[in-house]
Amino acid sequence: MERPIEAVVERPPALAKGAEWTIKMHPPRLPSWQSISRVEELDRRRCRFAYETRNADGNPSYVKWAWEVVGAGAGADVTVTWDCYLKTFDRRVLGGPLRKRQLAREVPKSLIAMATAVMATEPR
């Protein structure tokens, strides 16, 4: 499986609102870049996690992500949403549309990989 996240460059000491982390992205057929994310919501009771991601190069474009888990075990339902806010011409016309198409393929693959990993670690 292709892994667009190549490395975690910086991680926060704890996952909490306002915490930031940096990753190195390297999707297929694109150059690599660093991405900085900041936690906007962490609701353990509702199993909801939301954050904003921006390119480390200072471009004002960003993506808002939200992950939510409903249920538990094999019957759990995971929903991932993302909204892209493309603020510059190059992101609106070139990089943004390409990356949106890639995300539409990558996110379902990531969810399948996560489910496979969870199922492999659950006691039988």
96-108 confidence digits (pLDDT tens)? 777 777 777 777 7
**By the 8 A CB rule, do 87 and 59 touch?**
yes
- On whether residue 107 sits in a domain, the answer given is yes
Residue 108 covered by a domain: yes
| Residue 7 included in any domain | no
Model pTM score:
0.78
User: Which domain does 89 fall in, by range?
Assistant: 37-121
Q: Looking at the 3D structure of the chain, how many domains does it have?
A: 1
> Which SS3 state, helix, strand or coil, does residue 20 take?
strand
**Residue 97 DSSP SS3:** helix
- As a whole number of angstroms, the distance between CA 19 and CA 44 comes to 15
Q: What is the pLDDT of residues 30-88, one digit of tens each?
A: 788 899 999 999 999 998 999 999 999 999 999 999 999 888 777 778 888 888 898 88
- Residue 49 domain-assigned? yes
